[in-house]
Structure 1
Amino acid sequence: MAQEIERRFLLKTDAWRGLAEGEWLKQGYLSVERERTVRVRIKGEQAWLTLKSNISNVSRHEFEYPVPLADAETILAAMCPMVVEKKRHRIPLNGHIWEVDEFFGDNAGLVLAEVELGSEDETYVRPDWLGEEVTEDPRYTNSHLSQHPWPTWSKA
């Protein structure tokens, strides 16, 4: 069984810029319930269907399957009113891969970093450019952002 364990952070500086080239991702959601999420993702000429279910605030079951690009494009256009567009920068650092996501479209201006871990208690070195951890704040999940874009949140 596949499991994803990750921690998510806001960024406090732009010091990460230039450490890695980014790749454009577009993903749409067919289901965005906390207990289960179903999405289609396109990256370049590749596409996947992903199913996730919640285990804890840090861990999820995750199953990902390649799908034909034309199918993914049709699914996005016909079945996914909730879409997230972002540029992902994969930065190897201190034995981990940090994924910095720069959001565009409805979530323009938001930048998040994630690190995937082998266990919930695995230690990792925090880069200096990390800010507040938001792992346990469900508003920062891509599925939530697809329904409730970050710029519309009350900043009070």
Structure 2
Amino acid sequence: MDEDRDDFEFERRFFCRELPQELNDGDPPTLIVQSYFVHEDNYALRVRLQAEGISRPMDEHTDALNVLLEEREHFTAASMTAKGPSIGGTRYEAERPLDVNIAAELVVRGGSLIVKNRYGIWLGEDWWNVDIFGGLNAPLVVAEVERSGPVTDLVIPPFCITEITDDPRFSNDGLAQHPYSTWAEAFEEELHSQGSHFLQNFGANRSLE
């Protein structure tokens, strides 16, 4: 075991309306299927499989288990991760690699599944991941930035509508338990009445020119 492994993640996350045009260049995303075997009070145990170069549509008809079974031979990376609650953009996350075949068997046998396409791009000085969710979480789009330390003085691109960093509803384990489609209308009403907000305790929030 690597005693120097840093088991914390520092990230900020944002609700988006659609795939940013900057990412719509025709390159296939990373296909992700993951299952949560524990997801309570924002604590979670996750098994994830990833496939590169595979493009699957993400809509309300996309079934995570079917995607896994149909694309099983294309998944080349897997991991098991224990997560704690997100507090101020910091979350305990202990991730360890897992044999792909073992991971697939675990996901087939249980847990609460999520399927998504992940796109990535450099914007300013940060690498952004943008996730397009399928199944009961469609048409949710979430953008996130992760660093080795607190995400301060962030350049926020215009496709980020509002910040959801510490909103447990939007954590992947939260979405596994209570999919976005079951409360999307209530969230839209909330966003309309309260407006967008961005955390102010991470230095200056800057706009991408």
Give the alignment's TM-score, normalised by structure 1. Answer: 0.90
* Larger-gyration structure (1/2): 2
1:58 deviation in Å?
1.3
Which structure carries more strand by proportion?
1
**How many residues were matched structurally?**
155
Out of 8, 24, 28, the position equivalent to 1:3 is 8
Change over 3 Å in CA distance of 1:55–1:85 after alignment to 2: closer
Aligned pair 1:15/2:21, yes or no? Answer: yes
Change over 3 Å in CA distance of 1:130–1:73 after alignment to 2: same
Give the alignment's TM-score, normalised by structure 2. Answer: 0.68
Aligned pair 1:48/2:79, yes or no? Answer: yes
Listed as ranges, the matches of 1:110-149 within 5 Å are 110-120=140-150, 122-149=152-179
Change over 3 Å in CA distance of 1:99–1:121 after alignment to 2: closer
Alpha-carbon separation, structure 2, partners of 1:31 and 1:49 = 12
Listed as ranges, the matches of 1:49-88 within 5 Å are 49-54=80-85, 56-80=87-111, 82-88=112-118
Could you tell me which residue of structure 2 aligns to residue 92 of structure 1? 122
1:24-82 CA distances to partner (integer Å, 9 max, x unpaired)?
A: 000000111235211000002111001112361411111111111111111101131x1
Alpha-carbon separation, structure 1, partners of 2:176 and 2:46 = 11
Could you tell me which residue of structure 2 aligns to residue 103 of structure 1? 133
Structure 1 stretches lacking a partner, 5+ long: none
Could you tell me which residue of structure 2 aligns to residue 26 of structure 1? 33
Q: Which runs of 4+ in 1 moved over 6 A?
A: none
Alpha-carbon separation, structure 1, partners of 2:167 and 2:174 = 10
- Seq. identity, %: 33
Over the aligned positions, Cα root-mean-square deviation in angstroms equals 1.8
Structure 2 stretches lacking a partner, 5+ long: 1-5, 52-75, 187-209
Q: Is the 8 A contact 2:17 2:140 kept in 1?
A: no
1:93-150 CA distances to partner (integer Å, 9 max, x unpaired)?
A: 1111111000012211110101113433521111121111111211001001111111
